[in-house]
Structure 1
Amino acid sequence: MIEFSTISWIVLAGALATYLTRIGGHLVLSRFQSIHPRVEAALNAVPAAVLTTLVAPAAVYSGTAETLTILIAAAASLYIPTMGAFVVGWVAIVVLRMFIG
């Protein structure tokens, strides 16, 4: 039998924690007949808040190439669909890292 490594246990624990978090939120909200508009607004703001916590440190503490890429991708997202902005950001980081480092 194949022995599980530490990384395998960490992945399984992370998957279980993610599942329990998601199902827990669903179970709590399913007990209510309607959701208050403020709660719904707060829940709708969660994805943007999570994205901000991931992007902001990269913009502030990473190198020039990363900061410029975030600005380029943000500007692109104002004019093109999300997947297009993702591709623009991907190309920008590759090119900028080649020239800036």
Structure 2
Amino acid sequence: MTEISAFSIDPDTAMLIVVAAIATYFTRIGGYVLMSSMKRIPPRVESALNAVPAAVLTTLVAPPFIYGGWDIKIAMVVALVVGLRFPGLTILAVGWAAVMAARYGLGLGA
């Protein structure tokens, strides 16, 4: 019987991590090399790059809002309203407090 410790790792998992790290590195360095080789960024490329933050935020927020429970929905709406006035750490704290209040105070969600 083989003994499993907290520091043991499956060779396939280790290979997957290494390959993913290499792919991530080449993707990032490839974008840098491509952008630095241009003398001027074309307007369409600049427009696409300006849309990236909104697209990333949407992919992170939309699935939990759509498929999550009412606790998540309430916390996201509260965080959105707070985010219109206060900085990021405050949004995080208020969103966390809202989801905890919804879960344990109102009995919603997980």
TM-score, normalising length: structure 1: 0.83
Quote how far apart the aligned CAs of 1:52 are.
0.2
1:61 alignment partner in structure 2? 67
User: CA-to-partner distance for each residue in 1:48-100, whole Å, 9 max, x for gaps?
Assistant: 20110121111111111111111111111101012211221122222222231
Q: Which residue of 2 aligns with 1:17?
A: 23
* Matched AA of 2:108: I
- For residues 15 and 94 of structure 2, the distance between their equivalents in structure 1, rounded to whole angstroms, comes to 36
Query: What is the identity percentage for the equivalent residue pairs of Structure 1 and Structure 2?
Result: 42
Higher percent of residues as helix: 1
User: For structure 2, which runs of at least 5 residues remain unmatched after alignment?
Assistant: 1-6
Please report the TM-score for the alignment, with normalisation by the length of structure 2.
0.77
Q: How far apart in 1 are the matches of 2:35 and 2:55?
A: 20
Structure showing greater relative contact order (alpha-carbon pairs closer than 8 Å, 6 or more residues apart): 2
Q: Structure 2 counterpart of 1:87, which letter?
A: A
Structure showing greater radius of gyration is 2
Q: Distance in 2 between matches of 1:51 and 1:25?
A: 20
Match in the other structure for 1:39? 45
Letter in 1 for 2:79: A
Deviation string 1:1-49 (CA, Å, 9 cap, x unpaired) is x864243333333222221111111111111011123322321221220
